[in-house]
């Protein structure tokens, strides 16, 4: 199963990378044609900007975000340079001082954690390009701003309207893979024999899940900026992400509680019941990942598994009362786990 997941993911990535490469070449061609029909002094900046915006960003949301930030940086940097040339003219000493001030200002922005930090680098670069270019003037500053803005606009248009690769599609794929990884994590905890190799597997899975959850937040931010096509429901995503985190916590604490109570006679006597519970959890996680991956409503099989799981949990809760205290933590975490799985199933039912 894991190998099939990896192979499918690689197929998706290769296909999208190829499509994006063709789109980048098309954007460069459009930049070249436009550059040949304008009469600026240095038209190469139209194509350079298009390449810079397109090359490192594959989905629409990320290109739109980069476009906003680069336009903001270009606008601010151009104003810095144009005002300097307007007031002081082409004075090398003043230009050097202004560039140094701009570097301090824009570097401070670029190293912040705010959403606009990406505008900082291009702002400083734009000031340096205009003031240290050939024959710097107010006109050359305006032309540079227009050239870079044209490059940004071309990248945004090609990304949005030519074979668009949406961040929401990547997010959907990421969530499906995350659920599959959580399933593997669960199975390795409760159905595998403890060993150093198993500990390494669990450590790797834990790290992969954390990275996937972080990537989900980034992709969600990019998906919100995609204005065309199916709109992204941020509320559903936030609830789903919260459920995923709660599931991981519940599984972890369930395992620690289970280890503490594993030698109790009541658990040994009800081993088949617990094994059935683990199997139901595994089935539901698998069904959820398939529903997310295929962007389909929950199947009747998934609904039936959910019903069976809740019945199994009720049976676990009815285990003897004399030793109940030792099982309370395990049962409490299992209740949270089942509730969060049920919540994800409900979210999948929403359009």
Instruction: DSSP letter for 163, please.
Output: S
What is the pTM for the complete model shown?
0.77
CA atoms within 13 A on the CB side of 112: 14
Q: Average pLDDT of each block of 10 consecutive residues along the chain (351 residues)? A: 51 76 90 80 79 82 84 88 88 88 87 76 86 83 85 88 86 90 90 72 90 90 79 84 92 84 73 85 88 80 82 72 63 88 86 64
Which residue from 210, 156, 147 is spatially nearest to 178, judged by alpha carbons?
Answer: 210
3-state secondary structure of 227: coil
Helices (H) and strands (E) in the chain, counts: 13, 0
- The whole-number pLDDT of residue 1 equals 44
Domain ranges of the chain: 2-161, 167-349
Burial class (CB within 10 angstroms; exposed 0-12, middle 13-18, buried 19+) of 118: middle
Gyration radius from the chain CA atoms: 28
Q: What CA–CA distance (Å, rounded) separates 304 from 27?
A: 50
What's the pLDDT at 10?
A: 55
Whether the Cβ atoms of residue 275 and residue 264 lie closer than 8 Å to each other: no
Residue 326 is predicted with a pLDDT of 58
CA 170-173-178 angle, 5° bins: 120
Write down the pLDDT at residue 4.
Answer: 54
- The CATH architecture that domain 167-349 belongs to is Up-down Bundle (1.20)
Dihedral angle of Cα 99, 104, 109, 112, to the nearest 10 degrees: 150
Q: CB neighbours of 257 closer than 8 A, spacing ≥ 6? A: 327, 329, 330, 333
Distance between CA atoms of residues 345 and 7, nearest Å? 27
Residue identified by tokens 């304008």 is 38
Pair of tokens at residue 87 = 């007031």
Contacts of 47 (CB under 8 A, 6+ apart): 28, 31, 32, 35, 151
Of 179, 185, 173, 181, residue with least CA distance to 289: 179
Q: Which residues lie below 8 Å from residue 327, measured CB to CB, with a gap of 6+?
A: 257, 261, 264, 266, 267, 319
Distance CA 153, CA 147 (A): 10
């Amino acid at each position: 199963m894991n190998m099939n997941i990896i192979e499918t993911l690689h197929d998706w990535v290769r296909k999208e990378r190829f499509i994006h490469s063709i789109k980048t070449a098309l954007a460069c061609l459009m930049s070249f044609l436009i550059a040949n029909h304008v009469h600026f002094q240095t038209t190469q900046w139209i194509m350079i900007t298009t390449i810079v915006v397109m090359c490192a960003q594959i989905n629409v949301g990320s290109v739109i975000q980069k476009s906003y930030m680069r336009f903001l940086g270009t606008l601010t940097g151009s104003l810095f340079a144009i005002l300097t040339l307007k007031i002081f003219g082409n004075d090398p000493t003043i230009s050097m001082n202004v560039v140094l001030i701009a570097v301090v200002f824009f570097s401070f922005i670029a190293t912040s954690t705010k959403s606009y930090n990406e505008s900082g680098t291009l702002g400083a670069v734009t000031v340096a390009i205009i003031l240290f270019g050939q024959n710097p003037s107010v006109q050359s500053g305006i032309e540079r701003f227009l050239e870079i803005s044209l490059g940004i606009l071309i990248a945004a248009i090609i990304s949005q309207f030519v074979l668009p690769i949406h961040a929401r599609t990547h997010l959907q794929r990421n969530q499906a893979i995350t659920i599959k990884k959580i399933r593997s994590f669960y199975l390795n905890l409760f159905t595998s024999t403890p060993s150093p190799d198993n500990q390494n597997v669990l450590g790797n899975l834990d790290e992969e899940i954390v990275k996937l959850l972080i990537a989900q937040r980034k992709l969600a931010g990019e998906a919100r900026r995609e204005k065309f096509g199916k709109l992204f429901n941020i509320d559903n995503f936030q609830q789903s992400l919260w459920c995923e985190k709660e599931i991981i916590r519940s599984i972890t604490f369930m395992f620690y509680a289970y280890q503490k109570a594993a030698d109790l006679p009541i658990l040994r006597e009800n081993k088949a019941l617990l094994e059935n519970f683990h199997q139901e959890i595994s089935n539901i996680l698998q069904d959820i990942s398939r529903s997310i991956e295929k962007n389909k409503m929950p199947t009747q099989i998934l609904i039936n598994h959910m019903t069976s799981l809740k019945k199994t949990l009720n049976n676990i809760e009815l285990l003897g009362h004399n030793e109940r205290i030792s099982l309370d933590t395990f049962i409490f975490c299992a209740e949270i786990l089942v509730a969060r799985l049920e919540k994800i199933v409900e979210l999948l039912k929403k359009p």
